[in-house]
Structure 1
């Protein structure tokens, strides 16, 4: 479980708390306290909520896309996180490069959440020039923390890119979504092409940095975040089947749903 504070700016005061409170509850969280004030940009609502960490991404996406919300930011409350249940702490950290995993993406160390939440607005402002900030995390996190955290950030970025650039289109079948959403979105940041059922990236910035094996966890997370948001599900699993860091000619991603 984790405690999070959301600061939301809405276009109208009336009905804002009721509507967003229902979103919080529907995602399995509890609204512990709230405060609303009027500002120059609209109604400013602060909510302190508590709930399962593995549902936080979905809650943030639902709040951020709510029609009453103009903008919002989230930050875990220092010292308020509740120790996870044993089942959650034993969950696999991230999908391995050789086989898909059904386990949810989690951040191994909840203490990293404030760092991640502070980084996300910076990535949004500087997108697509984001990789220098992501690589900087190598010096702050252990290898295990880095892999899982980069996949989590990738999912967040993928969901954001979909809402920014692709949300006005109709829902596409999975194969079409890969071709018309995942591929052009990846081309915003890197060289990419489809080869059969795989998406190939030839210039991943995560390769050749002294680590062994597949290493493009952010890119796999970004693709999964794009497609899950496009489909309105949480069923896509993206597997890095080949990686330049392991000797392949390109980093190749497979899609399972």
Structure 2
């Protein structure tokens, strides 16, 4: 027969001893005595049981299977002072700290000593007609230690939170510049629109804008020039009978200016013509001065009698100028 000391840790005390006592008896042991203790960790139970040594493992298995037992410890019982419970909370005893003795400061009566020395060293004077001073006030010397400067305050640490970086701006797609290679006029489109220009003259700008949109971009200016040249020849044959050849300046004054004024507002300055508010040349758009160049070449070519007549744009309203300026040379 052996005697075992069983220590258990549980959450609640109610019915615990009855339940564990039943497990002890079933395993072939008898309960000798027990002790309950309430602890910060839970309910601590210590049992002294007695039974056959061969049944110890069976008893430990029964205790291990019990759901109310958090943990347990079984060891051979020894007479004497009770063992500390394995699950008891440990408290560290605080050691008493003996305060250090205050330093002793020897205070020397400086005032009395100084006063005595001053009194002994003072000469005796006889004053006629006046009373001598009864006492001599010596300077008072304080025995208190000098005041210590206050410690500087510790610097404060300022924590700066990093700012969330702003999102990067969206990439802007850049359209590459493609230089167009000029092509010849779209004669089919020009021939198709000429009858409409003759029927609606001088209100022809809407037809010319339609022509611009209907031809390839590379053939736009050449098609406008051809439409202007054919229209200028038609106006000269209709309004001005062939006669004697004129000089360039006379042809501009008597033929070119009247014909252009039927279409736009124009001013003649030397060898240049200034066209204001051209309906074909819109600010920020594309230059369409090629129509007026072809128009004047077709209109003035027969009057001047020169195949080398040239009309070209000096500046254009669509490129930011105030007006379109055409230069004429032969």
Of the two, which has the highest radius of gyration? 2
Q: Structure 1 unaligned segments of length 5 or more: list them.
A: 1-91, 94-106
Aligned pair partner of 2:184 in 102, 108, 127: 108
Structure 2: distance between partners of 1:248 and 1:123: 28
Whether contact under 8 Å (2:284, 2:320) holds in the other structure is no
Q: Confirm or deny: 8 A CA contact 1:177 1:230 kept in the other structure.
A: yes
Q: Distance in 2 between matches of 1:217 and 1:187?
A: 17
Structure 2 residue 312 is the aligned partner of structure 1 residue 228: no
Partner Cα distance (1:208, 1:168) in 2: 36
> Within the alignment, does 1:190 sit opposite 2:252 as a pair?
no
SS at match of 1:255: strand
Q: What is the TM-score of this pair, normalised by structure 1?
A: 0.54
CA apart distance, 1:210: 4.9
> Displacement, 1:209?
6.6
User: Could you say which structure has the higher helix fraction?
Assistant: 1
State the match for 1:205 in structure 2.
279
Distance (whole Å) between structure 2 residues aligned to residue 158 and residue 209 of structure 1? 26
Q: Assess, with a 3 A threshold, how the Cα gap between structure 1 residues 134 and 253 changes in structure 2: closer, same or farther.
A: same
Checking the alignment, whether the CA contact within 8 Å between 1:167 and 1:230 is kept in structure 2 is: no
3-state SS of 1:128 partner: coil
Q: How many Å separate the matches in 1 of 2:234 and 2:184? A: 23
Which structure has more RCO (C-alpha within 8 Å, separation ≥ 6)? 1
Query: Counterparts in 2 of 1:16-95, with a 5 A limit?
Result: 93=182
- Could you say which residue in structure 1 is the equivalent of 2:165? none
Does the aligned pair in 1 maintain the 2:245–2:304 contact within 8 Å?
yes
Q: Point out where structure 2 has 5 or more consecutive residues left out of the alignment.
A: 1-180
Offset at 1:122? 1.2
What's the CA shift string for 1:207-231, capped at 9, x where partnerless? 127534x431101110111111212
1:159 aligns with 2:216: no
CA distance in 1, matches of 2:199, 2:305: 25
Tell me the distance in 1 between the aligned counterparts of 2:231 and 2:268: 21
Q: What is the TM-score normalised by the length of structure 2? A: 0.43
In structure 1, distance between residues paired with 2:205 and 2:283:
13
Match of 2:290 in 1: 217
Residue aligning to 2:152:
none
Distance of 1:192 and 1:204 partners within structure 2: 9
Name the stretch that deviates more: 145-154 or 225-234.
Answer: 225-234
Does the 8 Å CA contact 2:266/2:273 hold for their aligned counterparts? Answer: yes
Instruction: Give the match for residue 122 of structure 1.
Output: 196
CA RMSD of aligned residues (A): 1.9
- Relative to total residues, which structure has the larger strand share, 1 or 2? 1
Aligned equivalents of 2:284, 2:216: Cα separation in 1: 14
User: 1:198 deviation in Å?
Assistant: 0.8
Q: Deviations over 1:37-62 (max 9, x none)?
A: xxxxxxxxxxxxxxxxxxxxxxxxxx
